């Protein structure tokens, strides 16, 4: 190869190498440019992220402070009753624990008072909730004014209050309770009238009565229940005897549930007697509980308990079902003309008594015209319109209505005009002295005149002597009931008495 050719070959290779180096330099510069742009982008992005993180951290801190403040506010609100400003139930529970700890440390004692307003519901029902709120605020102010600032006054809910106060002797709690009772008797001004509602108080002392908060509250509540049962507007201090009574009551509640399921509560029957024929004309079905330990219990021993436990409706259904079986037989044979049953106020408050009873009579194939429903004045006191509607529904289907214990209340005469009453039963309080007390005789004569004027049947209950029966018959009572003619008895015994022997008392005509 000639020198010229070699030289040209070298030049061409150098040219190509140069071009490649140029391409590599351009590619490196481009890569460096892209890398620099990305670096700047990453730098700016990092700056933005750092700012965002700082802003987020600040917002988190601010929100955390807001939530902490809101929680503290919620806790403060939760510890205060919004209406009265008193301690709430939650604050009361914590204060009780603190009082127990303090008492255990100092070997001191403190009292727990449970306070319940008497008949506060009447204020709400008659004047509205605004009046009720004003009254509750006044009660709160009075309670705060009676106890020391270091003591706790709480509203537990509704018209229920509690006081935790340190004491030196049991007499201290008595004095505090008496001040509260006196203050609660004072009227609260409201518009153009005065609001009045007394209170009942139950007290228990730590550690005298209880060693823990739960027991202390339970015992104070038991004492409060005793105050209510004693007629209200009083204070009762817990003692060990009450605890035993509560245990017995709880056992009786359990027995009552079992008795209903086992059919141990059944109707016994007491006759109504016509004074002319000296024979039964009707039978009153009265509940009797054959208790395995206590023997046969009368309604006074368990009806109130059944009412509190919500068992009255079930018990009434069972008594009616059981009573209608022999009742149909006695009606068919002419041994009686009617069967009488008692209805409690709580059953009327349900609003469905009349419909339920009529449906039950239809199921049992018992004629409504042969049933007498006995009611007392208490049935009518709370909701007269609802009671009237149910009585009218029963009367429209032939059920007869008897107003029981007439003379023991205060507004019976008005009911005779307003309600579909068919029978008046004179209370035993009037009949017991009718043979010896001129005033009792005068009242019975007056009632007999009212019954005759209103075309009502008159029945006298509680007749135990022939002298009573004689005076009642002469005054116009043609139907009598009482131990003179027969005590309540099982169905078999009543059937024998009515069918075979009649009534053995002498004639009163």
pLDDT at residue 501 in the model: 45
Q: Which domain holds residue 175?
A: 89-238
- Report phi then psi at 126, rounded to 5: -90, -35
How many domains would you assign to the chain? 3
Which CA distances in Å does 64 have to 53, 69, 99, 192? 16, 8, 33, 52
Domain identity same for 231 and 264: no
pLDDT of the residue at 505: 41
335 shares a domain with 365: yes
Domain edge (last residue) among 206, 238, 270: 238
In 365-504, which residue ranges form alpha helices assigned H by DSSP?
378-381, 384-396, 412-418, 428-431, 438-453, 466-475, 491-496
pLDDT in tens, 58-90: 888 878 777 777 666 656 666 899 899 999 999
- What 8-state DSSP symbol labels residue 483? T
Contacting residues for 395 by C-beta, under 8 A, at least 6 apart = 401, 420, 422
d(CA 226, CA 224): 5
Task: Output the CA torsion 140→144→150→154 (10° steps).
Answer: -10
- Count of beta carbons in the 10 Å neighbourhood of residue 370: 21
Helices 170-184, 129-146: crossing angle, 10 deg rounding: 150
Residue 126 has pLDDT above 90, yes or no: no
Does 270 lie in the same domain as 234?
Answer: no
pLDDT digits (tens, 9 = 90+) for 159-181: 999 999 999 887 899 999 999 99
- Reported confidence tier of residue 506, pLDDT bands at 50, 70, 90: very low
Domain match, 348 and 383 both: yes
Render 191-233 in DSSP notation, one character per residue: TTEEE---EEEEEEEETTT-SSHHHHHHHHHHHHHHHHHTTSS
Whether 225 and 269 share a structural domain: no
The answer to the question of residue 84 being in a domain is no
Same domain for 270 and 212:
no
Say whether both 267 and 396 belong to one domain.
yes
- Confidence (pTM): 0.64
CATH of the domain at 117: 3.30.70.270
Kindly report the CATH number assigned to the domain that includes residue 450: 3.20.20.450
DSSP letter assigned to residue 427 = -
Please report which confidence band the pLDDT of residue 504 belongs to, taking 50, 70 and 90 as the band edges. very low
Q: How do residues 53-64 score in pLDDT, each as one tens digit?
A: 888 888 888 787
**CB 242, CB 226: distance < 8 Å:** yes
In a domain, 81, yes or no: no
Whole-number percent of the chain with pLDDT over 90: 50
């Amino acid at each position: 190869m000639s020198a010229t050719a070699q030289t040209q070959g070298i030049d061409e290779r150098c040219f190509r190498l140069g071009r490649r180096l140029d391409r590599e330099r351009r590619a490196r510069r481009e890569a460096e440019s892209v890398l620099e742009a990305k670096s700047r982008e990453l730098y700016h992005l990092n700056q933005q992220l750092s700012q965002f993180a700082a802003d987020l951290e600040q917002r988190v801190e601010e929100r955390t402070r807001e939530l902490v403040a809101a929680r503290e506010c919620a806790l403060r609100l939760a510890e205060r009753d919004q209406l009265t400003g008193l301690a709430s139930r939650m604050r009361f529970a914590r204060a009780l624990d603190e009082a127990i700890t303090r008492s255990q440390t100092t070997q001191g004692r403190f009292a727990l008072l449970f306070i319940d307003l008497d008949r506060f519901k009447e204020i709400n029902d008659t004047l509205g909730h605004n009046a009720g709120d004003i009254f509750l605020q006044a009660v709160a102010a009075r309670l705060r004014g009676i106890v020391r600032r270091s003591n706790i006054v709480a509203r537990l809910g509704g018209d229920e209050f509690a006081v935790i106060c340190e004491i030196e002797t049991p007499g201290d709690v008595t004095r505090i309770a008496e001040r509260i009772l006196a203050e609660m008797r004072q009227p609260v001004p409201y518009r153009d009238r005065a609001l009045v509602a007394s209170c009942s108080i139950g007290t228990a002392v730590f550690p005298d009565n209880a060693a823990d908060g739960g027991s202390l509250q339970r015992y104070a509540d038991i004492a409060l229940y005793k105050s209510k049962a004693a007629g209200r507007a009083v204070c009762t201090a817990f003692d060990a005897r009450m605890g035993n009574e509560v245990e017995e009551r709880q056992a009786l509640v359990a027995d009552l549930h079992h008795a209903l399921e086992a059919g141990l509560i059944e109707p016994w029957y007491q006759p109504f007697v016509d004074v002319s024929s000296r024979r039964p004309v009707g039978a009153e079905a009265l509940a009797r509980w054959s208790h395995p330990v206590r023997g046969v219990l009368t309604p006074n021993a368990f009806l109130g308990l059944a009412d509190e436990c919500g068992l009255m409706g079930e018990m009434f259904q069972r008594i009616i079902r059981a009573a209608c079986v022999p009742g149909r037989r006695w009606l068919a044979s002419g041994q009686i003309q009617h069967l009488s049953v008692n209805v409690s106020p709580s059953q009327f408050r349900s609003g469905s008594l009349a419909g339920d009873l009529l449906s039950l009579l239809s199921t049992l194939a018992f004629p409504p015209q042969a049933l007498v429903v006995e009611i007392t004045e208490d049935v009518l006191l709370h909701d007269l319109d609802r009671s009237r509607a149910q009585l009218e529904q029963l009367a429209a289907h032939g059920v007869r209505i008897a107003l029981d214990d007439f003379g023991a209340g205060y507004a019976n005469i008005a009911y005779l005009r307003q309600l579909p009453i068919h029978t008046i039963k004179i209370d035993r309080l009037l009949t017991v002295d009718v043979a010896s007390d001129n005033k009792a005789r005068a009242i019975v004569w007056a009632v007999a005149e009212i019954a005759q004027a209103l075309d009502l049947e008159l029945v006298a209950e509680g007749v135990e002597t022939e002298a009573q029966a004689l005076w009642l018959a002469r005054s116009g009572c043609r139907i009598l009931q009482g131990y003179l003619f027969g005590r309540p008895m099982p169905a078999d015994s009543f059937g024998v008495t009515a069918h075979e022997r009649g009534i053995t008392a002498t004639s009163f005509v």
